[in-house]
């Protein structure tokens, strides 16, 4: 394994229909996630923290500006991995603006998982140390 991960920052965002999936994902990978600094939009962070015991820096709820707070951190190169479980079918207008989140993540080369399949791939990459280049690049 590469770096211990304590300097890498992971952000969690989930549309309402995907919050339970995010909780289950974080329960399953609590051991991996516990090695990193985690932040999340308000409700997602609350649900994941209560279910896992993980310490999570919580921002406002997604629709009230929490997603923009995470986007600002991405813009400042302070987020290394984003798990954004989005609902492509029935996302509400009050939920985070996915186009802006994905655009800023692309601009800053942030690995993003938008569903459970890419989430699994990214979590295993973290576990193996495949994303340690993020820490090296920042220092």
- How do residues 26-83 score in pLDDT, each as one tens digit? 999 999 999 999 999 999 999 999 999 999 999 999 889 999 999 999 999 999 999 9
Q: Report how many domains make up the chain.
A: 1
> Is 118 within a domain?
yes
> Is 3 within a domain?
no
> Is 139 within a domain?
no
Percentage helix, strand, coil for the chain under 3-state DSSP, each rounded to 5: 50, 15, 35
The whole-number pLDDT of residue 88 equals: 86
Contact 114, 85 (CB under 8 A): yes
Range of the domain at 29: 9-134
pTM, to two decimals: 0.92
> Is 89 within a domain?
yes
CATH of the domain at 85: 3.40.50.1380
Contact 44, 18 (CB under 8 A): no
> Is 35 within a domain?
yes
Mean pLDDT of all residues belonging to the chain: 90
> Is 20 within a domain?
yes
Q: By C-alpha distance, which of 111, 118, 107, 116 is closest to 25?
A: 116
> Is 1 within a domain?
no
> Is 42 within a domain?
yes
């Amino acid at each position: 394994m590469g770096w211990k991960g304590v300097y890498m920052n992971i952000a969690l965002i989930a549309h309402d229909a995907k919050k339970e999936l995010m909780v289950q994902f974080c329960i399953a990978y609590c051991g991996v996630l516990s090695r990193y600094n985690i932040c999340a939009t308000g409700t997602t962070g609350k649900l994941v923290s209560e279910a896992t015991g993980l310490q999570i820096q919580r921002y406002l709820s997604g629709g009230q500006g929490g997603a923009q707070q995470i986007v600002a951190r991405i813009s400042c190169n302070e987020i290394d991995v984003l798990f954004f479980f989005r609902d492509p079918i029935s996302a509400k207008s009050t939920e985070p603006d996915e186009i802006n989140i994905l655009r800023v993540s692309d601009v800053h080369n942030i690995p993003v998982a938008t569903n459970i399949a890419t989430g699994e791939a990214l979590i295993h990459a973290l576990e193996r140390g495949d994303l340690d280049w993020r820490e090296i690049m920042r220092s």
